[in-house]
Amino acid sequence: MAVTIDEVAALAQVSPMTVSRVVNGQSKVRESTRERVMQAVGKLGYVPNRAASSLAAAQDARIALIYTNPSSAYLRELLLGVLHVTARTTFQLIIDDWEGFDAAAERKAARTLGGSVGGVILPPPLCESKVVIGELGRAGVPMVAIASGSFNPDISSVRIDDFLAGKEITEYLIKAGHTRIACVKGHPNQMASQRRFEGYKAALKEAGIAPDAQLVQQGYFTYRSGLDATEKLLSLRKPPTAIFASNDDMAVAAVSVAHRRGLQVPRDLSIVGFDDTSAATTIWPELTTVRQPIGNMADAAIDILLRAIRRKPEDHRVVVDHVMAHQLVVRDSVAPPPVLARKSGT
């Protein structure tokens, strides 16, 4: 049926073992041999059988990705990133929805899971659940928190620097001339919200802009909460000229409210988001936002897990904190504030 390693070996006139070495990028192969093998691989269209290789190598880990909010745009991107990784590697990915679980249910689920998987990926807010981390930790299962906002010594993490990112995007607004900059905070149960908000405050402080409590609204990462927060903000006697929403969904909501009130974005109001999910480019104007390298983060998370699984159980506990570079994505939702624009004749 499919092309096997033996066929490739026969064509290249080497042993299957050599083909295996070439395919897996091992070093101890003569260059000429390697080329001959690669040629055979190309000609035959050989693709290694993952079931066989993982069985032979005993590297068939089961990795679980547990989530609680399948509708969040961010999680979608993450799942996609993980999907890309699974397509390249050998392990079984188990994905599970723990939405609405209370502490008891979480404990039970974690206990069950602990017995059947080699590693677990935890996106927020699960990566901040004491119950889950405690239970899985007791079972000796390697875990990695993804996009956790901050480092917790009990669990490895792959994340960006949410503080810095929040600070940078606020600074971008300041550089555009804004001083009345509002912030719609993210869900209080997630450290990332907190860190982004701290970044916002730090940028203001460094620029010598006095903080204004009225300009800070609590949001919950949902479109709905963004709607409410923006309404309050724009109803202020002295409304902001720019809004920093802690994620794209809320930023999209802010744009919608602005439009409904006859405000043009960015001419009358600048808006920035966070995450660079599909929502950011679905609307008009497209959103200036912060991009998390989700594909790379998924990659790194799985790498950490695989490494831990291959290690002896005794030292599963090696905890790493992998902070990846984020990126400010400048699009069309920011302009100088109206007053300045007028002054400079625009």
Partner DNA sequence: GTGAAAGCGCTAACAC
Partner DNA sequence: GTGTTAGCGCTTTCAC
Query: Judged by CB under 8 A, does residue 55 bind its own copies?
Result: yes
Among 15, 17, 39, 80, binds its own copies (CB under 8 A): 80
What does DSSP assign to residue 155?
A: B
Query: Judged by CB under 8 A, does residue 250 bind its own copies?
Result: no
Do 119 and 158 meet the contact criterion of CB atoms below 8 Å apart? no
The nearer residue to its own copies, 87 or 104, going by C-beta atoms, is 87
Among 283, 324, 328, 329, binds its own copies (CB under 8 A): 283
Among 257, 246, 238, 138, smallest CA distance to 188 is for 246
Do 332 and 272 meet the contact criterion of CB atoms below 8 Å apart? no
Strand partners, 323: 159
Which one of the spans 29-37, 179-187, 281-289, 336-344 is the region binding its own copies (CB under 8 A)?
A: 281-289
Among 279, 294, 302, 335, binds its own copies (CB under 8 A): 279
**Minimum distance from residue 162 beta carbon to DNA (Å):** 38
Query: Judged by CB under 8 A, does residue 6 bind its own copies?
Result: no
Residue 79 and residue 100: Cα distance in Å, rounded?
A: 20
Q: What is the CA radius of gyration of the chain?
A: 25
Q: Which does 71 bind (CB under 5 to 8 A by kind): DNA, its own copies, none?
A: its own copies
The nearer residue to DNA, 87 or 213, going by C-beta atoms, is 87
The nearer residue to its own copies, 160 or 258, going by C-beta atoms, is 258
Residue 197 and residue 183: Cα distance in Å, rounded?
A: 7
Do 92 and 116 meet the contact criterion of CB atoms below 8 Å apart? no
* Residue 208 Ramachandran class (φ > 0 left, ψ -120 to 50 alpha, else beta): left
Which one of the spans 15-23, 39-47, 165-173, 266-274 is the region binding its own copies (CB under 8 A)?
A: 39-47
Residue 6 and residue 9: Cα distance in Å, rounded?
A: 5
Query: Judged by CB under 8 A, does residue 93 bind its own copies?
Result: yes
Alpha helices in 117-183 (DSSP H): 130-138, 162-175
Helix axis angle, 191-206 to 162-175, nearest 10° = 40
Do 155 and 145 meet the contact criterion of CB atoms below 8 Å apart? yes
Residues from 98 through 157 that contact its own copies (CB under 8 A)? 112, 115-118
- In the complex, the residues that contact DNA under the rule CB under 7 A are 1-2, 4-6, 14-21, 23-24, 28-30, 32-34, 46, 48-49, 52-53, 55-59
Interface residues with its own copies (CB under 8 A) are 1-3, 44-47, 49-52, 54-55, 58, 60, 62, 71, 73, 76, 79-80, 82-84, 86-87, 90, 92-95, 112, 115-118, 223-224, 227, 249, 252-253, 256, 259-260, 262, 278-279, 281-284
